[in-house]
Structure 1
Amino acid sequence: MRAINMKISVFLQRAAFLLLLVGGVISLSGTVFGQTTETLRSEIEKRNSLILELEKEIKGYESRLNALDKEAKTLQNTVGQIELTEKKLQTDIRLTEQRIAAASRNITTLTGEIEDKNAGIEKNSAAISEIVRRVHELESETLVEILLREDSFSVFWDTVESLGQLQANVHKTVKELQTLKVSLEEKRTLRTKEKEEHVSLAERLVDQKELETANRKSKLALLKETKNQESNYKKILSEKQALKEALEREIRDFESQIQLEIDPNSLPQIGALLRWPVDNVSITQYFGNTPFASQNPQVYNGGGHNGIDLRAPNGTIIRAAANGVVTDTGDTDRACDGASYGKWVLIRHYNNLSTLYAHLSLIRAEPGQEVKIGDVIGYSGNTGYSTGPHLHFTVYAASAVRVTDEYRSKVCGTYLKLPLSPRNGYLNPLSYLPGIR
């Protein structure tokens, strides 16, 4: 009898110890690679605070650049704009560096938490398995047998009650384990997202440094071209504007000769099928300007502006307006400097629309590349004919637009590679974009 009591007592003591162990390992250890999680979180909070300060500083630069953009186009103002852009780009770089560091810390913290949770799951599982094994051993002696052999009912009921509490605690621990496993998967998902963000930020940092270098070179080129003389600057501006207008007329005449019937049923219904290609939306020039365009806002007739212009300081991220495939990319400045789209990207979407992104400073898309809505495809700039950094955004009926490098411009005296479309192939972008909040 004493042997049985001793067996039960020893079992309950060991079970209690195992449950204490279980409770102790569910919580995090609080240490990640030699640093407490509190220390890591404190560092992350400090970086987030610095990130907010840098974002505020960038907004200040953008506000000043917008104000300069509205002033007269003088050499002094243009140089000032380039210098202010350089400060903004440098701050962009600092911001991205801080975001990379914050992402690294987040990854470290999440990795530590994942390891702790894995360890907790393993130890809890082992403890529960041991308890179950010992319960099975104890059950080889039935309660009836124990009752018949006990000297008193009180010892029997104490044993039964202890076993019941043990069973309840095991049940509770199993539930906690299930919660722990769910939390583990959530942490793994968060870490995957942080790693993807880290890669994206590292790529952006490379781009931003390239943009800063190009911006600095543009200032030197401008001063060299104008010989730092306002009169030379005005003359160059006038010549570029005349070239741009002549090329536009030439292209418009050429496109008017393209005969292509577009099935209206092939066009998607008007609605928010596209996203804005910039995160902060401000329209500086609208689509078309003719009575026909007003009466038929979805279709362009060749008069006025064949897209919309969006305010986008140099280096602004440009995103794909919808899922699709990159039709082609190009740079008209290579053949006819300062007269047309400059660096551009054309995307054909799965909804029978195509979109053009022009005046880019840097292209981050390749022909044939599949893109998803919101993907980075480039950065805004001032290439081609542009009185200031912005994004020119055009929407076409996908079946109507073609990229050709066989168009010989009499105005430029060379072949140009650019998208061309009949007049009825141009669509009003606002017909397919969401309203501005």
Structure 2
Amino acid sequence: LEAVQGQSQTLEGEIKKINSNINQVDLSIKSSELTIDKLGLELDSLHNEISDAEKEVSLKEKAVAQILREFQKGDDETPFLIFLKNKSLADSVFEMQNLSDLSNGLSVEINNLKEAKENLSGKLEETSSKKQSVQTEKENLKNKQLILGDTKSEKQSVLTQTKNQEKVYQQTLTELQKKQAEIASEIEVMDEELRLKIDPSALPSKRPGVLARPVSGGITQEYGATAFAKYGYRGKWHNGLDFAAPIGTSVYSAEKGIVVAVGNSDKYCNKGAYGKFIVVKHENNLTTLYSHLSLQKVKVGDTIERGGLVGYSGKTGYATGPHLHFSVFSSQTFKMDSSRTCGLLPYGGDLNPADYL
């Protein structure tokens, strides 16, 4: 941590970090482009397989129709009539055996036709799924390109504000650290008051799976009075979990719910608080916060499913590097309120997310 923060204490270090983020998003874009190309090839292959499957179904249908026509020729004749019309017992037995073979053949061809249609149906479903994957990946690509543009703008903004001079950067950094400490203290005091109002009986039982992990990355900072919270956040309490999430990582809703807040604290206090954030209220009396995002993909009032995309991770707000800050609040205590130093912010009686993940 000290090494990371030490590097960011210089203008050169800050620009290096931003360049690293730009490269990270650029690689992610290239990965999306490769995925789209791969899915395109798979779709082409599936279209060929579907064409073959359709031909097979057509052949099987013709085979069944032919057997039915032959079968219907003798369908009205009883074994006794067959015996009377033939000159010998051998001819009668042969014709009856032929009808039996036709019946068995019909059964086989019907089963073959059924299998061919099931195969075709499976290919069509797979194609539909692949097309959806292509659309999703194209949307991801478009969003990552937006994130790349924003990250490049951040670099230009830093250079413009500091006039590329270390002295100016250090002055700006000192002012920022003072503001960050004030904001962290204000959030801590408010959340502590709201924690006292939590009604445990209104909360779901603590067990794994109540909420889904919002990203696949590992936990980099625990909940509560950690050493990092005291030093890194200029406060004594970390009101959530931090997850490793390279810039541009998809962030998903932990449970079905309604989006109740979408904001960007950087508009009021750049690098001072949560940055771009989203808040989702769930039916189980829990409310979740996703912050430091690079891009938000939902709006207030949207209903989102468990696992639905809410946005992409980033390092907006007070963040030493790209990650996702994830908080869980008791819904009855949650509120959006104006802070003294950083505009409208989310507050609530926070809970340990690890109790529900």
- Coarse TM-score class (shorter-chain normalised): 0.7 to 0.9
Equivalent runs, 1:167-182 vs 2, <5 Å: 167-182=103-118
Amino acid at match of 1:235: Q
Count of matched residue positions in the alignment of Structure 1 and Structure 2: 349
Q: Secondary structure at the match of 2:129?
A: helix
Match of 2:344 in 1: 417
Q: Which of 286, 296, 301 is matched with 1:363 structurally?
A: 296
Question: 1:370 & 1:103 partners in 2: Cα distance?
Answer: 29
Identity %: 31
Match of 2:40 in 1: 104
Contact 2:288 2:328 in 1 (8 A): yes
Q: Secondary structure at the match of 1:168?
A: helix
Question: 1:68 & 1:181 partners in 2: Cα distance?
Answer: 63
Amino acid at match of 2:354: L
Equivalent runs, 1:35-434 vs 2, <5 Å: 69=4, 72-73=7-8, 74-254=10-190, 261-272=197-208, 273-281=210-218, 283-289=219-225, 303-404=236-337, 407-409=338-340, 411=341, 416-421=343-348, 425-433=349-357
Question: 1:79 & 1:154 partners in 2: Cα distance?
Answer: 97
Specify every segment of 5 or more residues in structure 1 that has no aligned partner in the other structure, as ranges.
1-65, 291-301
Structure-1-length-normalised TM-score? 0.73
Structure-2-length-normalised TM-score? 0.88
Question: 1:247 & 1:395 partners in 2: Cα distance?
Answer: 19
Question: 2:275 & 2:164 partners in 1: Cα distance?
Answer: 24
Question: 2:5 & 2:245 partners in 1: Cα distance?
Answer: 14
Contact 2:293 2:316 in 1 (8 A): yes
Q: Secondary structure at the match of 1:399?
A: helix
> CA offsets, 1:26-52, max 9 Å, x none?
xxxxxxxxxxxxxxxxxxxxxxxxxxx
Contact 2:224 2:239 in 1 (8 A): yes
Match of 2:229 in 1: none
- 1:428, distance to aligned residue in structure 2 (A): 0.8
> CA offsets, 1:410-436, max 9 Å, x none?
x45xxx122122xxx110111111xxx
- 1:76, distance to aligned residue in structure 2 (A): 2.5
Over 3 Å counting, the alpha-carbon distance change for 1:70 and 1:123 in structure 2 is farther
Contact 1:353 1:397 in 2 (8 A): yes
Contact 1:86 1:215 in 2 (8 A): yes
Specify every segment of 5 or more residues in structure 2 that has no aligned partner in the other structure, as ranges.
227-234
Amino acid at match of 1:284: T
RMSD over aligned Cα, in angstroms?
Answer: 2.8
- 1:176, distance to aligned residue in structure 2 (A): 1.5
Contact 1:318 1:377 in 2 (8 A): yes
- 1:340, distance to aligned residue in structure 2 (A): 0.9
Q: Secondary structure at the match of 2:42?
A: helix
- 1:229, distance to aligned residue in structure 2 (A): 3.0
Amino acid at match of 1:311: A
Question: 1:146 & 1:284 partners in 2: Cα distance?
Answer: 85
Q: Secondary structure at the match of 2:333?
A: coil
Higher RCO (C-alpha 8 Å, min separation 6): 2
* Larger Rg computed on CA atoms: 1
Question: 1:263 & 1:257 partners in 2: Cα distance?
Answer: 13
- 1:268, distance to aligned residue in structure 2 (A): 0.8
Question: 1:137 & 1:178 partners in 2: Cα distance?
Answer: 25
Q: Secondary structure at the match of 1:310?
A: strand
- 1:401, distance to aligned residue in structure 2 (A): 0.5
> CA offsets, 1:305-340, max 9 Å, x none?
111222222112111111111111000111122211
> CA offsets, 1:247-295, max 9 Å, x none?
22234445556697332111111112112211122x22221118xxxxx
Amino acid at match of 1:358: S
Q: Secondary structure at the match of 1:167?
A: helix
Q: Secondary structure at the match of 2:237?
A: coil
